[in-house]
């Protein structure tokens, strides 16, 4: 039986992601773990997160999990979700500037103030709801997910990677921003697959069957 570790570092509830992973692939052993050894023993690792980046990084640094995640990023399939994606960049401008894990070179920035759509209606922050995900390249995690499918988002900051080659998908709000990153065995998404109904479950299923190689 293959296993997936959901990193539990005290940021938000993991109920949804655990249930969704179990639902997506009942044959996989899903466990919430806070312990470095257990994370390193698992076949795959999910790095979730909600809330503020400063609290997130503080929890990771104090528990020693920062180094563990960096090690996982070098060795086995890793899926970052929402704040778990943002934490993989070099730094975030949230909370007055917060150094992050630097798995992907780049920054996390806030949506510009006073956004408007084409008709002059103001766009709300957080970017909350179902928006289209435009896949930029084929990838095992996009298997059986139609181009421009809608996933559920809720966030006010987004990733700006230095290297455009790691961009896996973009979403428009109103300009295109990077909503998914991919590099070798690491995949990260700004949206919540565990809250995105059928397409979300499909992405989780794809991750749970992924060997960490890109096509």
Binding interface with another protein (CB under 8 A)? 12-13, 15-16, 19-20, 23, 50-52, 117, 121-132, 134, 148, 150, 152-155, 172-174, 194-197, 200-201
Closest separation between CB of residue 41 and another protein, Å?
Answer: 26
Closest separation between CB of residue 169 and another protein, Å?
Answer: 13
Q: Closer to another protein by CB, 134 or 209: give it.
A: 134
Q: Closer to another protein by CB, 117 or 184: give it.
A: 117
Closest separation between CB of residue 19 and another protein, Å?
Answer: 5
Position of tokens 């109920």?
Answer: 15
Catalytically annotated residue among 107, 139, 155, 192 = 192
State yes or no: is 179 an active-site residue: no
Pick the closest to residue 82 from 110, 51, 120, 39 (CA basis).
51
Q: Closer to another protein by CB, 80 or 194: give it.
A: 194
State yes or no: is 27 an active-site residue: no
Closest separation between CB of residue 127 and another protein, Å?
Answer: 7
Q: Closer to another protein by CB, 64 or 121: give it.
A: 121
C-alpha radius of gyration, the chain, whole number: 16
Catalytically annotated residue among 82, 94, 100, 127 = 82
State yes or no: is 23 an active-site residue: no
Q: Give the residue numbers annotated as catalytic, written as ranges.
A: 82, 192, 194
């Amino acid at each position: 039986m293959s296993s997936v570790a959901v990193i539990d570092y005290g940021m938000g509830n993991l109920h949804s992601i655990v249930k969704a992973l179990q639902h997506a692939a009942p044959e996989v052993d899903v466990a919430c773990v806070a312990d470095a050894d257990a994370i390193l023993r698992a076949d795959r690792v999910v790095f979730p997160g909600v809330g503020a980046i400063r609290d997130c990084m503080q929890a990771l640094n104090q528990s020693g999990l920062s180094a563990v995640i960096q090690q996982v990023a070098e060795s086995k399939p890793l899926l970052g979700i929402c704040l778990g994606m943002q934490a993989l960049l070099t730094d975030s401008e949230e909370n007055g500037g917060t150094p992050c894990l630097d798995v992907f070179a780049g920054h996390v920035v806030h949506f510009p103030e006073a956004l408007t759509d084409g008709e002059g209606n103001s766009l709300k922050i957080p970017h909350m709801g179902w928006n289209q995900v435009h896949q930029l390249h084929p990838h095992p995690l996009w298997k059986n997910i139609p181009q421009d499918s809608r996933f559920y988002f809720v966030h006010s900051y987004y990733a700006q990677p230095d290297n455009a080659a790691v961009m896996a998908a973009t979403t428009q709000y109103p300009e295109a921003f990077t909503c998914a990153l991919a590099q070798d065995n690491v995949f990260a998404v700004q949206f919540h697959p565990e809250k995105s109904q059928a397409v979300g479950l499909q992405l989780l299923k794809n991750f749970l069957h992924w060997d960490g190689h890109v096509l």
